[in-house]
Structure 1
Amino acid sequence: MLQKFKEHININFPFLKDKKLLIAISGGVDSVVLTHLFSELNFDISLAHCNFQLREKESDLDEEFVKLLSQKSSNQIFTIKFDTEKFASKNKFSTQIAARELRYNWFQAIIKKHGFDYVLTAHHADDNLETFLINLTRGSGLDGFTGIPKINGNIIRPLLAFSREEILAYAKINTINWREDASNATTKYIRNKIRHTVLPLLKEINPNLLETFAKTIENLQESKQIIEDRIADISAEVINSKNDILKINIEKINQLSNPKAYLYQLLKNYTFTEWNDVYNLLSAQSGKQIFSKTHRLLKDRAFLLLSEHAIPNENEKFLITENQTEITHPIHLNFEVVQQKSIENKQIIYVDKNLLKYPLIVRKRQNGDYLYPLGMQGKKKLSKYFKDEKLSLFEKENTWLLCNNENEIIWVLNHRQDRRFVNDNNLKISLKPT
């Protein structure tokens, strides 16, 4: 297996040569064999072990084992203890999801602090098949059926081409010791049920199951690439972005062969789960919105608008004293006394400094706000002004107001100036990009 593994690395992972590598090691046969293989090939490796404290004394014995292994091989080792059950309960995760979150976040912290290039994990071909079958039982899109990625950012999985049987045989031939996790034998977890009950039957039906499964994964990955290419083309046609808001053209989406399927592909990375609700938004009334854990999607006339899920704090305000010439938060404003008025646009206004009452206030909209728009007659409620300007809900929420200390609007930034503060035009106020 060593020679086969060496060729596999040279062909598929040549970039690992001369890199600083961190191997995730549990003490089980897979990760111990992975460590042995890279040691034999003289790579620069260190070890990282997580003690999840889920198996009482056995977890501590695993930690002692990998520490001893690192001493014998003179490899640097990082270890950590996690209160996994507490973390899972607090975040409403399953124990397995909690452990995954904890370990991968820790790996990234080690990489950042100690300058490693990649983390290597010991997932193998049987793990890949088990994951496929788990996703099959739960229901999944194509992403769930294309296998564990062999490269995912700085996470590398060099053993995916090898079976559990090959790994065990290598360990026995080379008299490699490892720790056996007793929980792997129980059928309490769905992965173990598939491993001990379903896979033996499938391998009895097809002794070459892993080989045919590898071909299936390759075919699915190729199909996925075609879909991704098509979605990239469609995205350019139906989506545009402005101020961190994605605008999806509803008319163009509805002209596609399967709008719901296209919406899924366009929005799947934004943690939405109720795809019927996403699809129904196409025909909903303007103003209706749905939320994922991280984003919200709003129907606004002819578009669906996507933004990060953040509720604005309408009571938040920032003060500007009379002597200040600049603020950089929450927006970037410059204040300059001038002799005469020159260029004027949506990013620059001129006011009479003597008409201002300090401190000035930068804030978001509030109920009852009104202004006397420059160039228009009378006064207008801010809500009516926004409606006439056809601003979306997102745009309304993201619009800042410059007011005096009595909360009278001086400027609806990026939109309209109030005419009450125009006379000598001796103070230039500029909105700068942030």
Structure 2
Amino acid sequence: MLNHLKTHIEKRLGFLNQSKLLIAISGGIDSVVLTHLCHKLGLNISLAHCNFNLRGKESDADEGFVLELAENLELEVFVQRFDTELYAKDNKRSIQMAARELRYSWFSELAEQLKFDFILTAHHADDNLETFLINFTRGTGLEGLTGIPEVNDKFVRPLLSFSSKVIETYARTNNIKWRDDSSNKSVKYLRNKLRHEVVPILKEINPGLLQSFQTTLNNLNESSEIVEESIDVFLKKAIESIGDKEVRFKISEFKKLNNPKPYLFESLKEFGFNEWNDVVGLLDAETGKQVFSPTHRLIKNREYLLLSEINLEESISISISDNVSQVETPFGILFFDEAEAIFGERTNIIFADKDALNFPLTIRKYKAGDVFHPLGMTGKKKVSKYFKDEKLSLLDKENTWLLCSGDDIVWVINRRADNRFRVTENTKRILKIELQ
């Protein structure tokens, strides 16, 4: 196994030889064997162990085992203890999901702080098969059936091509000691149920299951590459624009397709949507219809679908005193300066009668019922009606800010000034307000 791993690293993972590596070690057979192998290959490794405090003395014994192993191999070791049950309760996670989030977050933080190039985990071929079956039973797209990636950002899994049987044989042949996690025997967890009850039957049916499975993975990954190329070509036509606030998709491009659903799925899957029939329904929905994921939303706006991140921050209000020359805002910098005369016509600049303003001015978002007097018009107009006449999308409306004097709107910022504060022949002081 040592020679096979050495050859595998030279062919596919040669960058590991020149890297500073952190091995995620539980004390179980897989991560312990990975540690011994990397140590014998002379790789620059340190160890990181998570104590999740879920199995009492057994968890502490695992920690002690890892510390002793690190000492025997003269390796640097890091240990972090977690209150996993409290984290799971506070974040409404299962214990398994909580432990996963805690360890991966800590590994990444450790790697960033101490400049580790890569984090090695001991996932092997049987883990890959189990992950495939889990995704398959829960329902997934092609991506969920292509297996655990050998390299994923900073995480590297050098043992993916080795079976659990090969790893165990190596451990016993070389008299390597390890810790058994009693929770791995419980079939109340889906992965363990598959490992102990389903996979053995599949291997009985096909003794060469892992080899056949690897062939299937290779075929699926090749198909996945074709899909990605096709989606890339499609998105070049379908994406109208990518801005700071939104991505704008042309509905017409999706409607040209015989089956737009898989294209919508591949285009939007990374944003957390799961109600795909509702997403497809947006193509023929009325303007303003929305579909939400935990982090994003998709809005139908005339001939476009608008993708944006959900803004969880409460609307803020900014106060501006008389002597301020500039103010930083969420949408840019506002500059205030007295002017001698009015010049130019640009939406990002207004000129106001300073003596008509009631300081401090405020900047806020639009509220239902807001009314202003558009410059160049007689009478007043609801801001909502102005938005409608200007054919602003829901996102445009939500990202429009108002400059106010008391309860009166001075400027629908970057769009329209208010007639009540315009410069007249009687104006003594002109205030120039510019957005940059």
- TM-score category of the 2 structures, normalised to the smaller one: over 0.9
| CA gap 1:313/1:27 in 2 versus in 1, 3 angstroms | closer
How far, CA to CA, are the matches of 1:151 and 1:114 in structure 2?
20
Counterpart of 1:55 in structure 2 is 55
CA contact (8 A) 1:361 1:407 kept: no
How far, CA to CA, are the matches of 2:195 and 2:264 in structure 1?
35
Show structure 2 runs of 5+ residues with no match.
none
Counterpart of 1:217 in structure 2 is 217
SS in structure 2 at match of 1:17: helix
Counterpart of 2:340 in structure 1 is 339
Counterpart of 2:393 in structure 1 is 392
Counterpart of 1:100 in structure 2 is 100
How far, CA to CA, are the matches of 1:192 and 1:87 in structure 2?
23
Q: How does 1:121-136 map to 2 (within 5 A)?
A: 121-136=121-136
Counterpart of 1:236 in structure 2 is 236
Which of 101-110 and 363-372 deviates more?
363-372
Counterpart of 1:296 in structure 2 is 297
Which amino acid in 2 is paired with 1:210?
L
The answer as to 2:46 corresponding to 1:46 is: yes
Counterpart of 1:322 in structure 2 is 322
Q: Over residues 316-350 of structure 1, what are the superposed CA-to-partner deviations in whole Å (9 max), with x where a residue is unaligned?
A: 31100111001113341111222233343121222
Q: Over residues 91-137 of structure 1, what are the superposed CA-to-partner deviations in whole Å (9 max), with x where a residue is unaligned?
A: 22222111111100111111121111111100000100011111111
How far, CA to CA, are the matches of 2:108 and 2:244 in structure 1?
30
Which of 423-432 and 254-263 deviates more?
423-432
Q: CA deviation at 1:312?
A: 6.4
Q: CA deviation at 1:7?
A: 1.0
Percent identity, aligned pairs only, is 52
Q: Over residues 279-306 of structure 1, what are the superposed CA-to-partner deviations in whole Å (9 max), with x where a residue is unaligned?
A: 1122222222121111112122222211
Which of 423-432 and 158-167 deviates more?
423-432
Q: How does 1:163-242 map to 2 (within 5 A)?
A: 163-239=163-239, 240-242=241-243
Q: Over residues 130-181 of structure 1, what are the superposed CA-to-partner deviations in whole Å (9 max), with x where a residue is unaligned?
A: 1111111111111110000111111111110111111111111211111111
Counterpart of 1:365 in structure 2 is 366
Counterpart of 1:251 in structure 2 is 252
How far, CA to CA, are the matches of 1:341 and 1:172 in structure 2?
87
Counterpart of 2:266 in structure 1 is 265
Counterpart of 1:152 in structure 2 is 152
Q: Over residues 178-233 of structure 1, what are the superposed CA-to-partner deviations in whole Å (9 max), with x where a residue is unaligned?
A: 11112222322221121122222211222211111111101101111111111111
Q: CA deviation at 1:84?
A: 1.5
Counterpart of 1:308 in structure 2 is 309
Which of 183-192 and 388-397 deviates more?
183-192
Which amino acid in 1 is paired with 2:179?
R
How far, CA to CA, are the matches of 1:318 and 1:384 in structure 2?
25
Q: Over residues 242-297 of structure 1, what are the superposed CA-to-partner deviations in whole Å (9 max), with x where a residue is unaligned?
A: 33211222222111121111111111111111111111122222222121111112
How far, CA to CA, are the matches of 1:338 and 1:77 in structure 2?
66
How far, CA to CA, are the matches of 2:258 and 2:330 in structure 1?
44
Counterpart of 1:427 in structure 2 is 431
Which of 125-134 and 188-197 deviates more?
188-197
Show structure 1 runs of 5+ residues with no match.
none
Which of 282-291 and 131-140 deviates more?
282-291
How far, CA to CA, are the matches of 1:420 and 1:182 in structure 2?
76
| TM-score, normalising length: structure 1 | 0.96
RMSD over aligned Cα, in angstroms?
A: 1.5
The answer as to 2:382 corresponding to 1:381 is: yes
SS in structure 2 at match of 1:341: coil
Which amino acid in 2 is paired with 1:126?
D
How far, CA to CA, are the matches of 2:166 and 2:59 in structure 1?
26
Which of 419-428 and 329-338 deviates more?
419-428
How far, CA to CA, are the matches of 1:378 and 1:403 in structure 2?
18
| TM-score, normalising length: structure 2 | 0.95
Which amino acid in 1 is paired with 2:408?
E
Which of 13-22 and 123-132 deviates more?
13-22
The answer as to 2:11 corresponding to 1:7 is: no
Counterpart of 1:415 in structure 2 is 415
